[in-house]
Structure 1
Amino acid sequence: MANANSKTAIYAAIGANTAIAISKFIAAGFTGSSAMLSEGIHSVVDTGNGLLLLHGIRQSKKSADEKHPFGHGKELYFWSLIVAILIFSIGGGMSFYEGIIHIKNPKPLTDPTWNYVVLAMAAVFESIALYLALKQFNATRSNQDFWKAIRASKDPSNFAVIFEDTAALLGLIVAALGVFLGHQFNNPYIDGAASLIIGLILSAIAIFLAYESKGLLIGEGADPAVLESLVVLINEEPTILNAKHPLTMHFGPNEVFLALDVNFLPELTAVEVEQAVEKLERKIKQAHPDIKRIFIEARAISTDRSTSQNNQV
């Protein structure tokens, strides 16, 4: 599950985006800037997305029940997909709309001072929010390459905030350039073009987040390093004759289901197989606390008897 630090990053992003959205709309009202209006919409969407991620985290912590025997961990994955859809449809869509409207019906820009002040403030707040999100993410990725860690991450509450804040900073740069160049060349079309570019940035981020969320929602397995460790643990157990490759699935950022098909030595009794299974479960949970549920299809087969045991924890 997302820990307190990832929540802190989300709270920071929500607070920053709320304040920034208000200031951007005020600046857009005074200056008539399309890019600034698009940026205001972007900040509103980011604020709502942060609230949805918090909702997803809270829902994912609900206990298992009769209808959801494996818990509600995938709630977070569902809401991260909704976040991606909102970024694409509202953030990107409205930015495209505003850009096209202002290109078709250009309006002369007024004094850009308000825009520069708001953009500078927004850049500071967004940088702080991005720093907190990166700090949390870097604490969990160890020495793994950044992009590989992003792709391997099972916690969208981390990488979604990172990409939202990155998109926000890129949008601020584009908006600033649109305002500056529009006034420099006395060309209001540039401001509308900047709004279109912001829409492209948001759409690209949304598509990436949707792709990552889809993989988590339909069921991603544990990291290859975890699987390799499980194979080693199984092979180290002297009572095991052979075993099929471990099958895993993430039901949440820190909640993994494990299924094993194991053949024990033929001379073992049913009681000895049960003891061996319990020992193996303890070793696995000690090495990988994120593995919350274990299902073991255990067999001990000899010429005169067959024992089959299923164990679910």
Structure 2
Amino acid sequence: MSRTTEAPRTDRRTQVTVLVALAANLVIALAKTVGGLLANSPALLSEAAHSVADGMNEIFLLASLRRSRRPADARHPFGYGKERFFWSLLAAVGIFVMGGCFSFFQGFEALHAGAQEQFGGYAAGMIVLGVAFAAEGASLVRALHQVRRQGGLVDGLRDPALRTVVAEDATAVLGVTLAFTGMALHMVTGHVVWEASASFAIGALLVYVAYRLGREARDQLIGEAAAPETDAAIRALLEAQPEIDSVEALFTMKTGLETALVAARVDLVPGIDSERVEEVAVRIKRSIGRAVAEADQIFLDVTERSAREAQGSPAATGERGGA
């Protein structure tokens, strides 16, 4: 089954994974907020902001899954595949602003104003963190299971929506652990600096994750090349054609999760008449479209070597892959 044929089924699985993470984060965010207010705990309130940020991001990811599947039109002739990358970038910004910055604020606020220990409230807060750890862990297991089904870490994490959910859930598990440790040390020592330090650590973790996710989305939005193995497969196919003397240049660019634009400049062997050039170009493009499923748009700049050397006038042709 081709990658593009499998895509709708994969999207449905990803949608379920995102919905599981969304449900977990909304319930946990409410529980953490109530627990944080009862315990007057900056670390627990930081974790509540983290869960709210994650919940908002899941909404962004659901929008990306729906909008990226819209067909190409006159205004967007290469389709809407990059919507996936745009909404993932917004999710990274959400993690930075709503999670990271608020966590730093809570840490500074705790150091400046202090926090009164309330044993009953802290006990309830730590119970909330235990439940959150179990829920976030279950969501992470679900996401990692899908990653494994989609080919492992390399292929599975190509999907920015799934990559974001895995990063969020893994960060949430670690963040809950930091918050629990900070609260426990605050209760044992009576020093709020432990809980403030947990808030700072959670903030730093979220800022780092937001940076990594944002960098990935940025690279894809500005025109990232297809995977090196895809480039190598296309070049090998071109060089294997008996009519091609040399491949002068090959360019690829991802236009979506499973689609890419391919542009190549090739020199044909001498002696091919002009009528046959068009026939050869069409056959080569169809061969690329069949061999490389993600090659959605294919353009060839075809030149007969002796004619180019004599006149320097290439003839360009273009066609949608697999047509």
Q: Does 1:67 align with 2:82?
A: no
Picking from 250, 254, 258, the partner of 2:258 is 254
2: distance between equivalents of 1:263 and 1:27?
69
1: distance between equivalents of 2:220 and 2:16?
23
1: distance between equivalents of 2:106 and 2:43?
8
Kindly provide the amino acid, as one letter, of the partner of residue 14 in structure 2.
S
In structure 2, the CA distance between the partners of 1:261 and 1:153, relative to structure 1 (3 Å rule), is: farther
Paired position in structure 2 for 1:210: 214
Paired position in structure 1 for 2:97: 89
Paired position in structure 1 for 2:173: 169
In structure 2, the CA distance between the partners of 1:153 and 1:188, relative to structure 1 (3 Å rule), is: closer
Paired position in structure 1 for 2:146: 136
Paired position in structure 1 for 2:40: 32
Overall identity of the aligned pairs, in %: 30
Question: Residue 279 of structure 2: SS of its match in structure 1?
Answer: helix
Q: Does 1:287 align with 2:252?
A: no
Displacement after TM superposition at 1:23 (Å): 0.9
RMSD: 2.0
Q: C-alpha offsets along residues 25-81 of structure 1, whole Å, 9 cap, x if unaligned? A: 111122111111111111011000011011122222222222222112112211111
Question: Which residues of structure 2 form unaligned runs of 5+?
Answer: 1-6
Question: Residue 299 of structure 1: SS of its match in structure 2?
Answer: strand
Displacement after TM superposition at 1:231 (Å): 1.3
Kindly provide the amino acid, as one letter, of the partner of residue 114 in structure 1.
A
Displacement after TM superposition at 1:135 (Å): 2.1
Picking from 251, 270, 281, the partner of 1:266 is 270
Displacement after TM superposition at 1:239 (Å): 1.4
Displacement after TM superposition at 1:155 (Å): 2.4
Q: Does 1:119 align with 2:148?
A: no
Kindly provide the amino acid, as one letter, of the partner of residue 291 in structure 1.
A
Picking from 301, 304, 317, the partner of 1:310 is 317
Paired position in structure 2 for 1:80: 88
Q: C-alpha offsets along residues 113-149 of structure 1, whole Å, 9 cap, x if unaligned? A: 212221111111111211222222233345xxx4xx3
In structure 2, the CA distance between the partners of 1:171 and 1:268, relative to structure 1 (3 Å rule), is: same
Kindly provide the amino acid, as one letter, of the partner of residue 104 in structure 1.
H
Aligned length: 307
Q: Does 1:108 align with 2:105?
A: no
2: distance between equivalents of 1:178 and 1:168?
15
Q: C-alpha offsets along residues 202-238 of structure 1, whole Å, 9 cap, x if unaligned? A: 1111111111111111111011111111111111111
Question: Which residues of structure 1 form unaligned runs of 5+?
Answer: none
In structure 2, the CA distance between the partners of 1:76 and 1:282, relative to structure 1 (3 Å rule), is: same
Confirm or deny: 8 A CA contact 2:249 2:266 kept in the other structure.
no
Question: Residue 100 of structure 1: SS of its match in structure 2?
Answer: helix
Confirm or deny: 8 A CA contact 1:10 1:50 kept in the other structure.
yes
Question: Residue 133 of structure 1: SS of its match in structure 2?
Answer: helix
Q: C-alpha offsets along residues 145-192 of structure 1, whole Å, 9 cap, x if unaligned? A: x4xx38x95421121111111111110000000111111112233222
Picking from 199, 219, 239, the partner of 1:195 is 199
* Aligned 1:36-51 pairs, distance under 5 A: 36-51=44-59
Kindly provide the amino acid, as one letter, of the partner of residue 286 in structure 1.
R
2: distance between equivalents of 1:287 and 1:157?
27
Kindly provide the amino acid, as one letter, of the partner of residue 282 in structure 2.
E
1: distance between equivalents of 2:219 and 2:271?
43
Question: Residue 246 of structure 1: SS of its match in structure 2?
Answer: strand
2: distance between equivalents of 1:213 and 1:309?
32
Paired position in structure 2 for 1:9: 17
Q: Does 1:219 align with 2:226?
A: no
Kindly provide the amino acid, as one letter, of the partner of residue 286 in structure 2.
R
2: distance between equivalents of 1:272 and 1:153?
43
Paired position in structure 1 for 2:60: 52
Question: Residue 292 of structure 1: SS of its match in structure 2?
Answer: strand
Confirm or deny: 8 A CA contact 1:154 1:252 kept in the other structure.
no
2: distance between equivalents of 1:191 and 1:198?
11
Moved more, 264-273 or 75-84: 264-273
1: distance between equivalents of 2:305 and 2:195?
75
